[in-house]
């Protein structure tokens, strides 16, 4: 598929001023590709169950180009008249030309103001155009239609009724939901004692596991600017799930956002690609669309912590596909090393975000519920995010190209504690610590 390079900003020069329009573009498809392949783009949006009006976008783009051409023509005429006037003697003819030049200048200023509004509308339409999903993505409307592609490990068979993570952790003074709610409100929680120690052991183990795979560690801020959420594709669709400060910044729900922002507006060295980052940060989500879901325990909370794999690579579909399989497999291997049964699903078209070309979810077995629950998502975007964030590199011919981006949850806590604890529970309410975690935790079991 062809790549069309567009500048990260639109800089329109007049004789005396510059009009600056920041462009937040939509994906690997620029406006030329959208116009030339409108049916393909529309089919991709339909497959993702996203409503867009491409006819309106094309119409606004026509209007944008028309008024830009008008301004350019008037500016050219203004220059010619100015050059001719410089050669004229003073008199009535020169005075008339000055009035004519003044009128042209006023017309240009009016059209520039009109152009600002058109560009704003054009940008709004552009950022709503979704990326085209891969042909291998199954059809479907929601996560109920996701397709299992792998199943690992045997769910434990207990000779007693398994307890939930809430019963187990409260019984062992690992978790305090009542005081968590007193402190933070609905969905608040406090990890204490062995619960806190086990979280730290998991983080340390995750660091060690991924550093051995060549990832560079980062501790990222959670507080991010709006443009980074737009650039990474979490806005405009996900506004209701984000916390916003009184100063206009947002609290990110994943370290992917600041990790992508780290390289925004920069030209990378080709020899540095692929760049593999392991980003850690606190994360925040309002869970606005989850009313009535997982209201107890630590499955769905407002504040949590994540290790995130984030990769930037060359603009190659083949390399994106290979790395996508690799990062998903990394998290699978992590879960296997801890001994937690899981399954991997490929997300259907209706369960993809605006920018995702393809996504896998890894789901861990939760004995008390008798089902698998999502723990990790692995996605690739082609240059959806990097085009918006203007992250480029020079290829072998020294041409600037937008890099490709990928990300995958490496380890989320406290959610990971649920399956870990429930799958390792004993009849007396104690918890066996997996062998790989015991040296970091300091003990082989948790008892009251």
User: What amino acid positions are annotated as catalytic residues?
Assistant: 285, 300, 374, 377, 415
Handedness of CA 309, 310, 316, 321 (dihedral sign): positive
Residue 429: strand, helix, or coil: coil
Distances (CA, A) of 135 to 85, 132, 190: 62, 9, 44
Handedness of CA 283, 288, 293, 295 (dihedral sign): positive
Question: In the chain, count of helices (H) and strands (E)?
Answer: 13, 20
Q: How far apart are CA 50 and CA 354, in angstroms?
A: 8
Residue burial 254-277, b: 16+ Cβ < 10 Å; e: rest? bbbbbbbbbbbeeebeeeebbbbb
8 Å CB contact between 81 and 101: yes
User: Which residue from 153, 173, 164, 198 is spatially nearest to 422, judged by alpha carbons?
Assistant: 164
DSSP string, 323-350: HHHHHHHHHHHHHHHHT--EEEEEPPGG
**CA distance from start to end of the chain:** 60
Which burial class, exposed, middle or buried, applies to 442 when counting CB atoms under 10 A from its CB (0-12, 13-18, 19+)? exposed
Q: How far apart are CA 312 and CA 232, in angstroms?
A: 13
Q: What is the longest distance spanned by two Cα atoms in the chain?
A: 107
Q: Which residues are within 8 A (CB) of 261 and not within 5 positions of it... i.e. 6 or more apart?
A: 224, 225, 228, 231, 232, 389
Q: How far apart are CA 252 and CA 229, in angstroms?
A: 8
């Amino acid at each position: 598929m062809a790549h069309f390079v567009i500048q990260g900003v639109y800089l329109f020069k007049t004789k005396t001023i510059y009009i600056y329009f920041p462009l937040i573009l939509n994906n690997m498809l620029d406006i030329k590709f959208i116009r030339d392949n409108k049916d393909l783009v529309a089919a991709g949006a339909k497959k993702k169950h996203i409503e867009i009006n491409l006819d309106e976008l094309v119409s606004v783009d026509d209007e944008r180009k028309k008024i830009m051409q008008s301004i350019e023509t008037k500016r050219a005429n203004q220059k010619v008249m100015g050059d001719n006037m410089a050669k004229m003697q003073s008199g009535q003819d020169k005075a008339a030309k000055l009035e004519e030049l003044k009128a042209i200048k006023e017309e240009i200023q009016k059209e520039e103001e009109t152009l600002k509004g058109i560009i704003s509308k054009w940008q709004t339409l552009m950022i709503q155009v979704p990326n085209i999903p891969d042909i291998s993505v199954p059809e479907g409307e929601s996560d109920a239609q996701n397709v299992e592609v792998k199943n690992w490990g045997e769910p434990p068979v207990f000779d007693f009724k398994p307890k939930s993570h809430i019963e187990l952790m409260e019984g062992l003074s690992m978790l305090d939901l009542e005081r968590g709610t007193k402190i933070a409100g609905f969905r608040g929680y406090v990890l204490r004692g062995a619960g806190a120690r086990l979280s730290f052991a998991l983080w340390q183990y995750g660091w060690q596991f991924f550093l051995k795979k060549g990832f560079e560690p980062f501790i990222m801020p959670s507080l991010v600017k709006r443009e980074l959420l737009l650039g990474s594709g979490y806005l405009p669709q996900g506004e209701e799930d984000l916390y916003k400060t009184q100063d206009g910044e947002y609290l990110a729900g994943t370290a992917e956002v600041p990790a992508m922002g780290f390289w925004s507006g920069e030209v990378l060295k080709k020899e540095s690609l692929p760049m593999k980052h392991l980003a850690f940060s606190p994360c925040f989500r309002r869970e606005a669309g989850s009313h009535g879901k997982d209201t107890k325990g630590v499955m769905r909370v407002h504040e949590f912590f994540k290790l995130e794999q984030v990769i930037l690579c060359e603009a190659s579909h083949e390399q994106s596909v290979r790395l996508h399989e690799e990062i998903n497999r990394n998290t699978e291997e992590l879960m296997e090393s801890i001994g937690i049964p899981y399954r991997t699903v490929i997300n259907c078209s209706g369960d993809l975000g605006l920018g995702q070309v393809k996504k896998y979810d890894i789901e861990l077995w939760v004995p008390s519920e008798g089902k698998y629950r999502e723990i990790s998502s692995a996605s690739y975007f082609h240059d959806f995010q990097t085009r918006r964030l203007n992250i480029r590199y020079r290829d072998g011919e020294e041409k600037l190209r937008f890099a490709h981006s990928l990300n995958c949850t490496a380890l989320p806590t406290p959610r990971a504690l649920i399956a870990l604890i429930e799958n390792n529970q004993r009849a007396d309410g104690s918890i066996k610590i997996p062998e790989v975690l015991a040296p970091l935790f300091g003990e082989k079991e948790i008892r009251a």
